[in-house]
Chains A and B, each alone.
Chain A
Amino acid sequence: MKRTLYILMIVSTFVAFTSCKPEEEPEPDPIRNSLYWKIDGTTCDATPILADCGIANPYSINVFDNHIYITTDGGYSSNGDVFCFNMSGTRQWKAEAGMLPSKVEPYENAGTGNMAYVLNEGMWGNNDASLSKVNRAQGNISNKVFSNANHRSLGDVAQDIVAYGSKAYVAVTFSNSVEVINTGNDLSTRIDVSSSAKNPRRIAAHGGKIYVTCYDPCSVVRIDTATLTVEAVCRLGGYHPEGIAVAGGKLVVASSHISDEHSNYTYDDKVYIVDIASFEVQNTITVGTNPVVVKALDANKVVVGYVGDYGQKPAGTAIVDVTDGSVRQLDKALYNFDIYEGSIYGYESIY
């Protein structure tokens, strides 16, 4: 018995030691590379932009007022930055914002000058969503303006901000909030949407109303900006809605993906067209697998970014004409983009 044991041990020790070898030189980590493009909304010609901006980890892109604003992710464990470039790609300024700055939203208000809010999304479960305020000309930033003004937090994961009239509307996903912020003094009124639908995601504003996509159940919630109450809810059906935009008198809503009862994802490939007047789903248009971003290109067209299923089905970008349902695929798969003066400014996903 003992002898067998010793022999076994010696043999397995020999096997273990002889099969060990010096560690192979590690392959370099894949470098996260980004390519920024400007795509003409009519000709669909793509031109590279921001070639030497040096930003490998963009988290969002916004274009307005003749400037391009890029935010960075800060490695998910430190604050991100906001970079401002002019249209020829020259860096104007850089400012440290909060955790995961995900949108730069300009607003106009008497006496405040050229300002923009920077929405910092925050990490799930950390309640560290926050709002920064930046002077668009110089890049002077003040962080935590929401909690400083309101003496409370914005909440857990702020997904979208839209400035509309004298207010800015923020969807806070896991706090089930739509915060209505007075842009003059940053004071906010919280609307709890949980009785209509939970997990608000993205916002579109149109005709005195705010439209908010929500995950649970998958729907669009309509909020009246005068009364600040939820007026109506439009149920979409199966998949988690993400981006929302207005074109051709309709709401265009991206329907992304959803988990089944055992964490297996199924992917949608459609945008839902919701009639604004009746507030009901009118039809759907097939675009590509897993649509997430929707932005209005002009009065009748939207640009839809879809991210694929991370496997067989690819990511892509398409222009959808809401009036006739036509879809034009672009040859760049933009992971995130913004629209400015009829052109699409975005960056690719290299997946």
Chain B
Amino acid sequence: MLFVGLFLPEALFSQDTVRRTTLDEISITEQGAPATLRTQAPTQVATIEKIEQSGAIQLSDVVRQMAGVTLKDYGGVGGMKTVSARGLGSQFSTLTIDGVAVNDAQNGQIDLGRYSLGNTAYVSLSQGQPDNLLQSARTYAAGSVLNMETQVPHFFLAERTNFKVGLDAGSFALWSPSVLWEQKLSDKISLSLWVNHLRTDGDYPFVLYYTGNRDDSSSHERRTNSQMHSTTADANLFYSISSRQTLTAKVHMMSGFHALPGPVQHYAEKGSEFTRETLAFAQVRWRGVANNWQWQVIGKYQYNYDFYEDTAFANVSHYLSNQYRQHESYLSGAAVWNPVEKLSFSLSTDAALNSFSSDITSNYNRVTRGSLQAVAAAQFKTKRIVANANVLATVTHEVATKYEVEGSERPADYRRLSPYAGITVQPFANIPLRARYFFKETYRVPNFSEMYFFAFVKNLRPERAEQHNLGLTWNHYVERGEESSTQIAVTADAYLNTITDKLVAQPAQNMFLWQMYNMGKVRVTGLDFKADAMWQWLRAALTLSVTYTYQRAVNRTDPDNERTYNNQIPYTPRHSGGMQIYFEMPWVNVGYTAMFVGERYCKEQNAPEYRMPPYADQGISVDRLFDVKLGTLRLKAQVLNLFDVQYEVVRSYPMMGRNYRFGAVFEF
């Protein structure tokens, strides 16, 4: 019963749900997962069903299956995992939870390994901006948007309480118990509380090859100092004020400990670095509709605390610790006005105040940034044409102070207008073929690390990205009586992205003092292809999903530099792809996942010594749903990296070989 996830063209969706209705599926439609075949921005969605099928535990597990992304993975469950979309760099990707951005003003990128799945209705990735006008300005400002949508509780008949208890276990002492409790307080108010704990020793074995030639010396090693544990608690309030107004509130807390194994440095072992991190935020979203108006108000407060220590640092006390604190207060308002049929206008305004402090008193260690972003947007929408245009204004102002130094420093204020235009057309009324195009400019203000970690540069400019995307979507649905049906959905998008003023760290004349330069230029031409198909028979179903990405992401900085000009940028494969097969049968479900990543280079120069060989990572799973007293029980077993392929995504960070996972979910 859990297929709908793969496809979200709404036409298919409704037909499918007619036959396979469950409350969960309706809840997905109600929560409005993006209709992937109609959006201007190529959008991929993984619903909870697909997430459960794939056995994903962390957000990164889902994202790595998507087309057009490069996941930088430092290995293991605890290793950092950041995503960059279409060669733009991870700072251009914004993670939102229920449409509200999770911001890291310090590093500008989010570790997707720190977000667990479990009370997520769906995860969506928009390569561009979502179509919906009712968005925060931050969402409009992002190069790509990865959204996690919290599951809204649904209660069957007279039930007032739902429980979902899960336990995942895996190799290297991976344990992940979780509990979801949903409570109906009244017809209008319900609550959910989700608590998850994740821990692993992470001491997986790997083969260390001492040169690029695998016939040369090698040794069998084990990753050390790789243990982690983290606890996440997520409480939600859902309040239907009326049939036309909703209020949702969320309090999210994550507290974690990660040992940092660091790069494998030949002949030496370190293993003395640790981080402890706390992320806490509270957000409220109020949405409503009245006549020809819609509005949304979001308020959020976020606190991050990172503690880093090295217990064998090369100084006198053999100890180093750094503390970083960030606060963010954020307010966003959006209003959509629909004066006549087919035409809507909107305004979105975000104001944010970010502050950062650290105990590194030799740097600028106290920074406050205020930013204002506003979007004016218009949309023309008919059954067969959707056209959007908007312009975004970004204004920031910031002040930095140094410990025990009088006065403050101010980098230049940033002010810029960035345009967007996009259109989706269905040329023939009776053929489900759509064409889409968008142009978008994205403007990325340097984050605090870029601004202050290196030598302070007052006139650092933001990175600018221009995206062009041209795509086609097509879907097909055939029903043969009550028993069988076929669904096919195909999307293909070609894109051209250019990045100018890319921020690059370089030594400022000597090795000890680096600074950021606006020196890079990158041009990305690419193609994303995605095909989903499902065949359904009376008591069985087969789903197949295939993705392929071609990316020619080249350095265009200096035509005179024959060693780097027109070379592929680091860690970006030209060819990559994936395949997922899921076969549902009455007695057991079987899944197969494959991921292929072509050759990459770890440096700007594409020389043989910096080449990283291609790899294929495959996995299989079996699972079954049992009806038991009180509820349902799903049991699952998985083999990941089935062929024990030894590979690295990031140089000197070996990935896990063959490993096993088992999961049980009991719902009642």
Give 1 or 0 for each of A150-187: 1 = CB within 8 Å of chain B CB: 01110110000000000000001011110000000000
* With known contacts A79-B605, A198-B314, A262–B267 Cβ distance under 8 A: no
**CB <8 Å contact, B506 and A155:** no
**CB <8 Å contact, B513 and A351:** yes
- Residues in B neighbouring A192, C-beta threshold 8 A: 267
Q: Does B249 contact A (CB under 8 A)?
A: no
- Residues in B neighbouring A17, C-beta threshold 8 A: 374, 376, 393, 417
Q: Does A226 contact B (CB under 8 A)?
A: no
Q: What CA separation (Å) do A328 and B342 show in the bound complex?
A: 82
* With known contacts A17-B374, A26-B461, A78-B605, A151–B362 Cβ distance under 8 A: no
- Residues in B neighbouring A128, C-beta threshold 8 A: 609-610
Interface centre among A155, A176, A262, A351 (most CB of B within 10 A): A262
**CB <8 Å contact, A27 and B459:** yes
Q: What CA separation (Å) do A74 and B217 show in the bound complex?
A: 29
Q: What CA separation (Å) do A23 and B443 show in the bound complex?
A: 12
**CB <8 Å contact, A16 and B266:** no
* With known contacts A20-B417, A153-B211, A215-B314, A126–B263 Cβ distance under 8 A: yes
Q: Does A189 contact B (CB under 8 A)?
A: no
Q: Which A residues between 247 and 295 are near B, CB-CB below 8 angstroms?
A: 258-265
26 A-B residue contacts at CB 8 Å?
A2-B295, A5-B335, A6-B335, A16-B393, A29-B519, A73-B507, A78-B564, A124-B263, A127-B263, A127-B651, A128-B610, A144-B609, A151-B211, A151-B215, A151-B217, A152-B217, A153-B210, A156-B265, A176-B267, A198-B268, A198-B314, A258-B316, A259-B320, A261-B317, A263-B320, A310-B512
Q: Which A residues between 53 and 85 are near B, CB-CB below 8 angstroms?
A: 73-79
Q: Select from chain B the residue with minimum beta-carbon distance to A96.
A: B563
Q: Does A147 contact B (CB under 8 A)?
A: yes
**CB <8 Å contact, B563 and A74:** yes
- Residues in B neighbouring A32, C-beta threshold 8 A: 508-509
Q: Does A206 contact B (CB under 8 A)?
A: no
Q: Which A residues between 331 and 346 are near B, CB-CB below 8 angstroms?
A: 335
Q: Does B351 contact A (CB under 8 A)?
A: yes
Q: Does B645 contact A (CB under 8 A)?
A: no
**CB <8 Å contact, B563 and A79:** yes
Q: What CA separation (Å) do A44 and B315 show in the bound complex?
A: 37
Q: Does B160 contact A (CB under 8 A)?
A: no
Q: Does A15 contact B (CB under 8 A)?
A: yes
Q: Does B510 contact A (CB under 8 A)?
A: yes
- Residues in B neighbouring A176, C-beta threshold 8 A: 267-268
Chain A nearest CB from B147 CB (Å) reads: 23
Chain A nearest CB from B61 CB (Å) reads: 25
**CB <8 Å contact, A263 and B372:** no
Chain A nearest CB from B540 CB (Å) reads: 50
**CB <8 Å contact, B267 and A175:** yes
Interface centre among A27, A175, A199, A260 (most CB of B within 10 A): A260
Q: Select from chain A the residue with minimum beta-carbon distance to B652.
A: A125
**CB <8 Å contact, B315 and A20:** no
Q: What CA separation (Å) do A260 and B321 show in the bound complex?
A: 9
- Residues in A neighbouring B264, C-beta threshold 8 A: 127
- Residues in A neighbouring B509, C-beta threshold 8 A: 32, 335, 349-351
Q: Which A residues between 184 and 218 are near B, CB-CB below 8 angstroms?
A: 190, 192, 194, 198-199, 215-216
* With known contacts A126-B263, A263-B362, A174–B333 Cβ distance under 8 A: no
Q: What CA separation (Å) do A78 and B374 show in the bound complex?
A: 41
Known: A23-B416, A77-B605. 9 other contacts (CB 8 A): A10-B347, A17-B417, A26-B518, A127-B210, A143-B609, A175-B267, A238-B316, A260-B315, A262-B321
Q: What CA separation (Å) do A26 and B518 show in the bound complex?
A: 10
Q: Which B residues between 562 and 613 are near A, CB-CB below 8 angstroms?
A: 563-564, 570, 602-605, 607, 609-610
**CB <8 Å contact, B361 and A264:** yes
Q: Select from chain A the residue with minimum beta-carbon distance to B267.
A: A175
Q: Which of B215, B263, B322, B564 contacts A262 (CB 8 A)?
A: B322
**CB <8 Å contact, A155 and B417:** no
Q: Which of A177, A194, A258, A263 contacts B322 (CB 8 A)?
A: A263
Q: What CA separation (Å) do A47 and B315 show in the bound complex?
A: 40
Q: Does A112 contact B (CB under 8 A)?
A: no
On A, residues with C-beta under 8 Å from B are 2, 5-6, 8-10, 12-13, 15-17, 19-21, 23, 26-27, 29-30, 32, 73-79, 96, 98-99, 124-128, 130, 143-144, 147, 151-153, 155-156, 172, 174-177, 190, 192, 194, 198-199, 215-216, 238, 240, 258-265, 307, 310, 335, 349-351
Q: Select from chain B the residue with minimum beta-carbon distance to A258.
A: B315
Chain A nearest CB from B261 CB (Å) reads: 11
- Residues in B neighbouring A216, C-beta threshold 8 A: 314, 318
- Residues in A neighbouring B507, C-beta threshold 8 A: 73, 76
Q: Which of A5, A19, A73, A127 contacts B265 (CB 8 A)?
A: A127
- Sort chain B's interface into a size bin: 35 or more
**CB <8 Å contact, A155 and B604:** no
Q: Does B618 contact A (CB under 8 A)?
A: no
* With known contacts A78-B604, A79-B607, A175–B361 Cβ distance under 8 A: no
- Residues in B neighbouring A153, C-beta threshold 8 A: 210-211, 266
Give 1 or 0 for each of B618-638: 1 = CB within 8 Å of chain A CB: 000000000000000000000
Q: Does B531 contact A (CB under 8 A)?
A: no
Q: Select from chain B the residue with minimum beta-carbon distance to A29.
A: B517
**CB <8 Å contact, B374 and A76:** no
Q: What CA separation (Å) do A6 and B263 show in the bound complex?
A: 52
Q: Select from chain A the residue with minimum beta-carbon distance to B563.
A: A78
**CB <8 Å contact, A76 and B506:** yes
Q: Which of B263, B319, B395 contacts A125 (CB 8 A)?
A: B263
**CB <8 Å contact, A190 and B267:** yes
**CB <8 Å contact, A77 and B395:** no
* With known contacts A29-B518, A126-B651, A20–B295 Cβ distance under 8 A: no
**CB <8 Å contact, B320 and A152:** no
Q: Does B479 contact A (CB under 8 A)?
A: no
Q: What CA separation (Å) do A300 and B461 show in the bound complex?
A: 51
Q: What CA separation (Å) do A351 and B512 show in the bound complex?
A: 11
**CB <8 Å contact, A26 and B459:** yes
Question: Which 3 residue pairs across A and B have the least CB separation, nearest first?
Answer: A78-B605, A125-B263, A77-B604
**CB <8 Å contact, B266 and A127:** yes
**CB <8 Å contact, B415 and A21:** yes
- Residues in B neighbouring A21, C-beta threshold 8 A: 415
* With known contacts A5-B297, A74-B563, A151-B216, A125–B265 Cβ distance under 8 A: yes
**CB <8 Å contact, B372 and A156:** no
Q: Which B residues between 337 and 360 are near A, CB-CB below 8 angstroms?
A: 347-349, 351, 359-360
- Residues in B neighbouring A79, C-beta threshold 8 A: 563, 605, 607
Q: What CA separation (Å) do A265 and B501 show in the bound complex?
A: 31
* With known contacts A152-B216, A259-B313, A78–B333 Cβ distance under 8 A: no
- Residues in B neighbouring A29, C-beta threshold 8 A: 517-519
Q: What CA separation (Å) do A96 and B561 show in the bound complex?
A: 13
Chain B nearest CB from A246 CB (Å) reads: 25
- Residues in B neighbouring A13, C-beta threshold 8 A: 347, 349, 374, 376, 393
Chain A nearest CB from B173 CB (Å) reads: 27
**CB <8 Å contact, A307 and B510:** yes
* With known contacts A20-B415, A32-B509, A350-B509, A262–B320 Cβ distance under 8 A: yes
- Residues in B neighbouring A351, C-beta threshold 8 A: 508-510, 513
Q: What CA separation (Å) do A315 and B487 show in the bound complex?
A: 71
Q: What CA separation (Å) do A6 and B318 show in the bound complex?
A: 57
Q: Select from chain B the residue with minimum beta-carbon distance to A148.
A: B211
